[in-house]
């Protein structure tokens, strides 16, 4: 039995669909019954499960939420944690955002438990594009002109399901990307708009006007600078290695979305 956290989200809902399609027993854990902010709700939900798919929301308290889940998994006798982490080049003690550092801290915590583990480190999700405002034929964003090896959340989920199915698979991290590094100029072209690289101060002002918190503004600008540097622009073959087929291109992602 596999417990799935974050099962209603962009990645998690595809994970549960994949597990169902593969006929793998799983338990979707969701609020209000199971809440990462209430550690007491976690352990009973994990009793009787052998693996945990650990996905926590993007949140200022992410390290604490992850720790609650890892501690509950240990207490409940879970044997393996498959963790959805941050982008591979970002995860580390000096990561570009507090979230990237929190993912690294959580990976360290999981390794210290002595449980079996796998870490899935996806690049920028193509699904993020739908949340970026477009104005009068333009896509204004502070993403620079570096390549980003963006990936469809459905491919992250298929890779996750493959890792969960391979219960005796190696304790290791996987760097999940799409098939190509794309600049935002190319992304704009695929979306039928013109990309406009805007300075961070202007992007921050637009985000604040849209109601973003200080945490969200800081995170967005730091991640934009990171992606603009091209740090996550090199595609890997890990999706194909895990699933047996190539990750979707941006054009495939957009065609499926519109179908
Ligand atoms: N976006 C990217 O480009 C990207 C790239 C690499 C890694 N990541 C990582 O991906 C993760 C986010 O995945 P996602 O995009 O699938 O997230 P998402 O769509 O925002 O979904 C978040 C999930 O977490 C659940 N959740 C929220 N608060 C909870 C709580 N207190 N207790 C239990 N469950 C709770 C939500 O359930 P409800 O339905 O109850 O809200 C939902 O199922 C983050 O860890 C992020 O760092 C994102």
**Domain spans of the chain?**
2-254
Q: Is the CB of 124 under 6 A from ligand 1?
A: yes
Q: Would you tell me how many other CB atoms lie within 10 Å of the CB of residue 167?
A: 13
pLDDT digits (tens, 9 = 90+) for 87-140: 999 999 999 999 999 999 999 999 999 999 999 999 999 999 999 999 899 999
Q: How far is the CA of 9 from the centre of ligand 1 (A)?
A: 6
Q: Whose CA is closest to 150, among 188, 107, 183?
A: 183
Q: How far is the CA of 6 from the centre of ligand 1 (A)?
A: 6
Q: Is the CB of 128 under 6 A from ligand 1?
A: yes
> Which residues are bridge partners to 54 per DSSP?
83
pLDDT at 257: 82
pTM of the model: 0.97
Cβ atoms of residues 100 and 87 within 8 Å: yes
Q: Is the CB of 10 under 6 A from ligand 1?
A: yes
Q: Is the CB of 36 under 6 A from ligand 1?
A: yes
The fold for domain 2-254 equals Rossmann fold (3.40.50)
Q: How far is the CA of 64 from the centre of ligand 1 (A)?
A: 14
């Amino acid at each position: 039995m596999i417990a799935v956290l974050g099962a209603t989200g962009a990645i998690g809902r595809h994970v549960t669909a994949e597990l169902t399609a593969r006929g793998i027993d799983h338990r979707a854990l969701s609020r209000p019954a199971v809440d990462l902010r209430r550690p007491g709700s976690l352990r009973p939900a994990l009793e009787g499960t052998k693996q945990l798919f650990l996905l926590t929301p993007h949140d200022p308290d992410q390290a604490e939420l992850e720790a609650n889940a890892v501690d509950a998994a240990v207490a409940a006798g879970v044997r393996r944690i498959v963790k959805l982490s941050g982008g591979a080049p970002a995860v580390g003690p000096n990561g570009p955002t507090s979230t990237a550092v929190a993912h690294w801290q959580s990976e360290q915590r999981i390794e210290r438990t002595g449980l079996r583990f796998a870490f899935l480190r996806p690049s920028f999700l193509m699904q993020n594009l739908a949340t970026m405002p477009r104005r009068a034929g333009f896509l204004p964003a502070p993403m620079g002109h570096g390549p980003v090896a963006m990936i469809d959340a459905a491919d992250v989920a298929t890779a996750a399901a493959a890792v969960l199915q391979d219960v005796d698979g190696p304790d290791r991290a996987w760097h999940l990307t799409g098939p190509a590094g794309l600049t935002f100029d190319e992304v704009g072209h695929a979306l039928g708009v013109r990309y406009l690289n805007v300075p961070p101060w202007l992007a921050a002002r637009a985000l604040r006007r849209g109601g973003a918190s200080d945490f969200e503004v800081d995170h967005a600008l730091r991640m934009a600078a990171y992606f603009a540097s091209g740090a996550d622009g090199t595609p890997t073959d890990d999706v194909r290695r895990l699933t047996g087929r190539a990750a979707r291109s941006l054009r495939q992602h957009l065609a499926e979305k519109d179908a």
